[in-house]
Amino acid sequence: MSNAKKEMPAGAALSPFDAADYLHSPEDVTAFLEAVLEDYDGDSRVIVKALGVAARALGMQKIAKETGLNREGLYQALSGKGNPSFDTVLKVMNAVGVEFRPKPIIRSSRPASSRRIRKAKASRKQIRTRRTPAKAKKRSQSSSTKARRSR
């Protein structure tokens, strides 16, 4: 075996990764956007930039025609530095073949049943501390009887 370093062929330089090279269908775009939403939940700039990558992959000129917006404006708005309107985002999503669909947010790690149990316990405490007029009268009599006995 030789210890000589192998040289990299001249044409084998690494090029930057571009996700747009791998997005060919609405299904690919959907999977890509779902992954971005999962990984960067709440970062609107990254989400908008990912939508721009999807639009570029499917052809920005085609997307511009379908949305009725100009190509240069779309590049700028979907660059991650732009601030597109919600209307623009919805139009682009429709043009790339994905739809906006709300999904419930799970806020706590406790199941809903444990929250219901805590609520029920709290309401039972309130019921126990409330006195009905008959019980209140009975207690006042017994306390006055005690007061007389102690004299």
Per-residue pLDDT, 107: 81
Would the pLDDT of 147 be above 60? no
Residue that wins the pLDDT comparison between 127 and 91: 91
Per-residue pLDDT, 133: 57
Helix then strand then coil, in percent of the chain rounded to 5, is 65, 0, 35
Burial class (CB in 10 A: 0-12, 13-18, 19+), 77: buried
Radius of gyration of the chain (CA): 33
> What is the DSSP-derived secondary structure letter of residue 16?
-
Segment 113-137 shows an average pLDDT of 60
Exposure on the CB side of residue 136, measured as CA atoms within 13 A:
6
Per-residue pLDDT, 121: 64
Segment 118-145 shows an average pLDDT of 58
What's the CA gap between 127 and 148, in Å, rounded?
31
Would the pLDDT of 61 be above 90? yes
What's the CA gap between 99 and 89, in Å, rounded?
10
Per-residue pLDDT, 21: 85
pTM of the model as a whole: 0.59
pLDDT digits (tens, 9 = 90+) for 41-50: 778 899 999 9
CA dist 105 → 15, 37, 108, 129 (Å): 39, 13, 9, 36
Confidence band (pLDDT; 50, 70, 90) for 134?
Answer: low
For the record, the structure tokens of 83 come out as: 């601030």
Q: Determine how many CB atoms are found less than 10 A away from the CB of residue 92.
A: 24
Residue in the structure block whose two tokens are 């639009």: 55
Per-residue pLDDT, 100: 86
Which of 10-14, 39-43, 91-95, 143-147 has the highest average model confidence (pLDDT)?
91-95
CB contact at 8 A, 62 and 55: no
Would the pLDDT of 91 be above 90? yes
Would the pLDDT of 78 be above 70? yes
